[in-house]
Amino acid sequence: MKFKLDPVADEKIERLLSQMTLEEKIGQMSQVRHFDDISPEDIQTKFIGSVIHTQGPVPGKNAEEWQEKFTELQKQALSTRLQIPLLFGVDAVHGQNTYEGATIFPHNIGLGAAGNLDLVEQAAAITAIESKATGFNWVFSPCVAIPMNEKWGRVYEAFSESTELTTKLTEASIKGHQEKNGNMGVMATAKHFIGDGATDFGKEGGITSLSREEIIERLLPPYQAAVDSGVASIMVSFNSLDGQPMHAHKELITDLLKVQLGFDGIVVSDWKAYSRFGQNDIIKAGIDMVMAVDGDLDGFQEGVKNGVLDGSIPEERINDAVRRILRQKFRFGLFENPFPDKSLVNQIGIPEHRAVARQAVRESLVLLKNKNQALPLKPNSKIVVVGPFANNSGLQSGGWTVNWQGTTENYQGATTLLEGIQKFSQSEVKYDAEGKADIEDVDVAVIVVGENPYAEFFGDIDGEMNLFQLTLTEEHQNLINAYTEKGIKTVVVLISGRPLVVTPQIEQSDAFVAAWLPGSEGDGVAEVLFGLFDFKGKLPHSWPKSVEDFQGKFGPNFWEESIQPLFPLGFGLTYQAENLNE
Which positions are catalytic?
270, 456
CA torsion, ordered 343, 345, 347, 350, to nearest 10 deg: -150
**Residues 6+ away with beta carbon under 8 Å from 572:** 113, 366, 367, 368, 535, 536, 537, 538, 539
SS3 309: helix
- Provide DSSP, 419-483: HHHHHH-SS-EEEESSS-S---S-SEEEEEEEPPP--GGGG-BTSSS--B-SS--HHHHHHHHHH
Any alpha helices (H) in 191-337, and if so which ranges? 212-214, 221-228, 250, 273-276, 280-285, 297-309, 315-331
Report, in angstroms and rounded to the nearest whole number, the Rg of the chain calculated over CA atoms.
Answer: 24
SS3 133: helix
Of 92, 191, 208, 237, residue with least CA distance to 148: 208
**Residues 6+ away with beta carbon under 8 Å from 389:** 395, 396, 417, 448, 449, 450, 495
* CA 496 vs CA 29, 365, 471, 483, 568: distances in Å: 37, 12, 11, 21, 18
* CA 526 vs CA 373, 396, 400, 483: distances in Å: 16, 13, 24, 20
Q: Compute the C-alpha angle 47/48/51, nearest 5°.
A: 160
In whole angstroms, what is the distance from residue 241 CA to residue 179 CA? 34
Any alpha helices (H) in 473-557, and if so which ranges? 474-484, 503-508, 523-529
Query: Beta-carbon neighbour count of residue 176 at 10 Å?
Result: 24
